[in-house]
Amino acid sequence: LLGTGLCHVGAEAEGFSQDDRTSPPVAMFNWTAQLVEETYTNITQKCWEYFVDLMRNVTASELCEWKVISRPYSLLQACLEDWADHLRYGYPNALAEQYIFQSHHRYFHNCTLEHRVYFDPPEDVLLAMIFAPICLIPFLVTLVIWRSKDGKAQP
């Protein structure tokens, strides 16, 4: 897909004039919404096929390593987003989200977080952790008062 010229970032699309780089490009012909959607659907399928082809080079043990999968994943996202922008289709859109979700479901569903996720303790443990220090306070106050009543001067 990238080799065939569909996803060249920074390349000029046909039908846009050279002098309009600073302002939004104006198409030389009028596209209907149905034609834009059909074109975007076909292009996103090519983006997906290119992503699948890139992912064939990734082993199962490398599927959760960001430094390995970041390039294919970023290329998929860039292809979907760039073509939506070129066609003025709007991004994010349902079709692009479908391919992103499909990539997660197909390739990354077994990836877990490297950092441990902490949960609240059970309610009975939590209550014990709250009430134990509260119950110790009256005991410590009583102990301090009792020790200070013996009448001897403290050094």
**Block residue for tokens 């110790």:** 136
Spatial separation of the C-alpha atoms in residues 20 and 55, rounded to whole Å: 37
* Alpha-carbon distance values, 125 to 51, 56, 120, 131, 143 (Å): 49, 49, 10, 10, 27
What ranges do the domains of the chain cover?
Answer: 33-109
pLDDT in tens, the chain (155 residues): 444 445 444 433 333 333 443 334 444 456 788 999 999 999 999 999 999 999 999 998 898 899 999 999 999 999 999 999 999 999 999 999 999 999 999 998 888 765 566 778 889 988 999 999 999 999 999 998 888 876 665 55
Domain 33-109 belongs in CATH node 1.10.150.510: yes
pTM for the predicted model, two decimal places: 0.55
* Alpha-carbon distance values, 66 to 61, 63, 72, 111, 113 (Å): 12, 8, 10, 11, 12
